[in-house]
């Protein structure tokens, strides 16, 4: 059996929903974007250097991209002077790779 809402129940629900929306809207703005502090920025910069520890640097990324680019040029998919821009997954910097070293 389905009962209908009374006017009091409807108004109470709307009022409580409005209060919850007002409080929830403020909580949703709790996340902010802040600039990196100097030590954190320096740490990311150091991880992005070609002379960093093996596995962390860009050398492997460049070598893989260069090999892929050379195979695409050999297959005739790209011209001989083709360039490819890759993005480092660690730091987000972009690197332009060419087939010739």
Domain boundaries of the chain, sorted by first residue: 53-98
Q: Is the pLDDT of residue 30 over 70?
A: no
Rounded to two decimals, what is the model's pTM? Answer: 0.46
Q: Whole-angstrom Cα distance, residue 101 to residue 99? A: 6
Q: 30-54 burial string, b = 16+ CB within 10 Å, else e?
A: eeeeeeeeeeeeeeeeeebeeeeee
Q: Concatenate the DSSP letters of all residues of 44-72 into one string.
A: HHHHTSTTS-TTTSSHHHHHHHHHHHHHH
pLDDT for position 83: 92
């Amino acid at each position: 059996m389905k009962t209908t809402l009374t006017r009091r129940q409807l108004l109470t629900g709307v009022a409580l929903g409005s209060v919850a929306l007002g409080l929830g809207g403020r909580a949703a703005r709790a996340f902010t974007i802040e600039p990196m502090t100097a030590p954190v920025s320096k740490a990311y910069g150091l991880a992005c250097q070609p002379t960093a520890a093996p596995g962390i640097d860009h050398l492997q990324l460049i070598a893989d991209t260069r090999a892929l680019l050379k195979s695409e040029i050999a297959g005739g998919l790209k011209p001989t002077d083709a360039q490819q821009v890759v993005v480092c997954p660690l730091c987000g910097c972009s690197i332009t790779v060419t087939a010739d070293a």
